[in-house]
Amino acid sequence: MPSNRRIVIVVFPDVDLLDVTGPAEVFALANRETEGRAGYQVQLAGPSRGAVTTAAGVRLLADLAFDEVSGVLDTLLVPGAVDLRPQGPVARVDRDVVEWVRVTAPQARRVASVCVGAHLLAAAGLLDGKRATTHWSTAAQLAAEHPEVTVDADPIFVRSGKVWTGAGISACMDLALAMVAEDLGEQVALAVARQLVMYLKRQGGQSQFSVPLSRPAGSRRDIEELRTYIAEHLEADLSTVALAGRMALSERHFARVFRKETGTSPASYVEAVRVEAARRLLESTDQPLDRLAAACGFGSAETLHRALRKQIDTTPAAYRRRFRTTA
């Protein structure tokens, strides 16, 4: 690896502030934790030198104009911007920025987008035939405008060869930490995460939302309390019959109320919560599959295997190989 890792972050009017400053802070702390040995050098490049007003109203200073960027880059980092429309946020795609990214990307060892910056990479043709993620609110737009890209709105970040794509807002920190881990090892990344008071083990395969957050909040407090009970008692009998009994409702009425409040059936919700718990344990422990399955309420490794295959189309062993974080 090079001793001088030059990182160029693209900036332009209305760019999301944290998309720029979040990764920059991660790389700066990596330099500090290694007493400069990391060699990260962060530069901001924009359409012209000087002040750039971000979406937060805070101004940044571009070190370089686009036409002044030359030579080999370690990392090209592309954040994004959105326009707020009545139907919701729409990712902004500036053709001049897209063209510069397209021409500059071959100079970089790796290219990454943050949040809706994925739309710029896609417009530059850098995501063709690749799997990619973006902020959940514009994932449908990305998929509709670029059918040649396999859009996955769930993960925090996705790596496809030399191209990385990150999910929304704070996920830029997880993306940058993963890059630090690749460059310098898990111990350095862990030290940086501690300085940032962050949880290092949010791996790329994890969902942008936990299961409770991904479901709409209901109007019935008793259903919300039941959701809490489910999350805290995964090993218990969580069948529809048992949950209906706990609510003192008939099975049919309970299932109807639960679906109205959460948008899904009790059985599907319980399975999703158990799969999420299993994913966390697969990422963070070496527990045997039968013990892990029992802890999450699956009863057997076979049941766990079927649930993971159904929910995320993989096996426990394959998931662990890909996302296991070594302490």
For 60: left if phi > 0, alpha if psi spans -120 to 50, otherwise beta; the answer is beta
The answer for residues whose C-beta is within 8 angstroms of residue 30's C-beta and 6 or more apart is 38, 40, 180, 183, 184, 188, 189, 192
Q: By C-alpha distance, which of 231, 232, 230 is closest to 242?
A: 230
- Checking DSSP bridges between strand 163-166 and strand 108-113, what pairing results, if any? parallel
| 3-state class (DSSP) for residue 286 | coil
- Residue-wise DSSP of 109-170: EEEEE-GGGHHHHHHTTTTTTSEE---GGGHHHHHHH-TTSEE-SSBSEEEETTEEEE-STT
The residue type of 208 is Q
Tokens 């940058």 -> residue: 176
Active site residues: 115
